[in-house]
Structure 1
């Protein structure tokens, strides 16, 4: 029985990459661990299989409030999944749903939060959910954003990108490690080493390098091309598409960039995401539409 360590992010921001890195680090195998075995290592917070045994009726027949009340119970069940710390993937914002916490802190040891430039997230969201870029931009600003009940998942509560980021990062917490996707790309050894140290691990340089290499975008994409990936959306051609930073410069129009900055400039400024050539896109305080 172990306490939970949340691996949190807004969708399409690096959660799968982080899970793969940790899986490879712990397994320490010569070849990359299968991306389709990630849930053998890290539980999915919204996986319906954990909620169904606790539900009084089929999940599809429950009201959203009834599902919300199941969450703290299911999270306690998670602690019995492994004898040591239990890693749990979550895309939920750090808040409440129908007055019930979306993350049971009574059984939580800590968390790792990965965030990514929303200018690039918008592109990935458009591919993942089968939306146009303009629809994805609206998606990122939608305070009601989330996912519905399905045969395999209970609802996730995302809210807007800004609200999601602020909910997890506004109050510094020594039990939470906050990482930028772009820093993991630019200096993987430095920042993945931070992850290992945060978890109290001291892997050898060779072991750390192997985990980084086996979870690289190139390795993950190669696996998907060869064997598929069960987490790929049926609306997307591939889950691992490009993975690079600043692809927005090749895809978004200036107007689209300005709309995203107008919606999210408060949190973007906190994390250095406002491009130097778009500083003038930040609205005056009385014009701000971003979540703070």
Structure 2
């Protein structure tokens, strides 16, 4: 059993879990979970559209039900694998979806289970993740400066996992029959098409009426007005999570310095240079300077 040298993280299989937020035994039990054939996993790195996808999948499974129509049912149907552990997953309300931030290669795997993974460009993930952890009351790194966090992000030393390791591990499974890879930026551009893809992947027939209902109840406007952050909080009150913020694309332009932008682009190009499709994936969204 590998444990981090500092008090900040639990280090398990190269993944870093904030020691104030996670329990070592629960994380290990999560890694030992044996998936059911009908399990649905929503696998993302933090700040890559996890909540958005959870509310879409829940509404699809529940014929258009919003998360706040029955908040207890929503919580029971959407456990967090590495925070709630194996026992909670076994007893979860089904149908439902299991949230996880594990590296894809360490996910409990069943060839009959379904895995939805959402990936987002590293610039927006870096900025959004920093704002998230600094907003957690009594949580993880609420006082870390962005410059320090940025350096950790490039070095793969932030909480959870190395962004690039997570990205590449997801990308490697994009053509698996039981894996659906969604681009966060595509969700921003055309959410209706994304919802249809998810419905098809889950073998759910969707009418135009149901589609429009899901667009509404999964929108950031709806979730904010319904106070998602306040209703979906930590069960032990150790921290107050702000799952939702802006949910926009391109916010990095207001935060990254020119030097940081160049360094992150160089890192991305280097990490993905042998994967051409991934290397150019965000070119249509003007995230990276064309070479």
Length-normalised TM-score, structure 1: 0.70
Offset from partner CA, 1:212-242 (integer Å, 9 cap, x none): 1111011111222794541599477x43211
- CA distance change for structure 1 residues 159 and 175 in 2, over 3 Å: closer, same or farther? same
- Alignment of 1:278 onto 2:289: yes
Distance (whole Å) between structure 2 residues aligned to residue 159 and residue 3 of structure 1: 27
Q: What does residue 89 of structure 1 align with?
A: 99
Instruction: In structure 2, list runs of 5 or more residues that go unmatched.
Output: 1-35, 135-143, 273-277
- Alignment of 1:175 onto 2:211: no
Moved more, 217-226 or 86-95: 217-226
Distance (whole Å) between structure 2 residues aligned to residue 261 and residue 9 of structure 1: 21
Distance (whole Å) between structure 2 residues aligned to residue 239 and residue 167 of structure 1: 24
- CA distance change for structure 1 residues 187 and 35 in 2, over 3 Å: closer, same or farther? farther
Distance (whole Å) between structure 2 residues aligned to residue 115 and residue 228 of structure 1: 25
Instruction: In structure 1, list runs of 5 or more residues that go unmatched.
Output: 51-73, 96-101, 147-157, 281-292
Where do residues 1-292 of structure 1 align in structure 2 (5 Å cutoff)?
2-28=37-63, 33=68, 37=72, 38-48=74-84, 50=85, 74=86, 78-79=89-90, 81-82=92-93, 86-95=96-105, 102-106=106-110, 109-130=113-134, 131-146=144-159, 158-171=160-173, 172-224=175-227, 227-230=230-233, 234=239, 238-265=242-269, 266-267=271-272, 269-272=279-282, 275=286, 278-280=289-291
Query: What CA RMSD, in Å, does the superposition of the two structures yield over aligned residues?
Result: 3.0
Shift of 1:83: 5.6
Distance (whole Å) between structure 1 residues aligned to residue 184 and residue 238 of structure 2: 21
Distance (whole Å) between structure 2 residues aligned to residue 110 and residue 230 of structure 1: 26
Detail structure 1 runs of 4+ shifted over 6 Å in the superposition.
Answer: none
Distance (whole Å) between structure 1 residues aligned to residue 238 and residue 196 of structure 2: 31
Distance (whole Å) between structure 2 residues aligned to residue 13 and residue 80 of structure 1: 27
SS in 2 for 1:243: coil
Shift of 1:108: 5.4
Shift of 1:203: 1.4
Q: Aligned pair count?
A: 236
Shift of 1:183: 0.4
SS in 1 for 2:215: helix
Q: Is the 8 A contact 1:24 1:33 kept in 2?
A: no
- CA distance change for structure 1 residues 178 and 103 in 2, over 3 Å: closer, same or farther? same
Q: Is the 8 A contact 2:119 2:182 kept in 1?
A: yes
Shift of 1:208: 1.4
Shift of 1:18: 0.4
- CA distance change for structure 1 residues 226 and 179 in 2, over 3 Å: closer, same or farther? closer
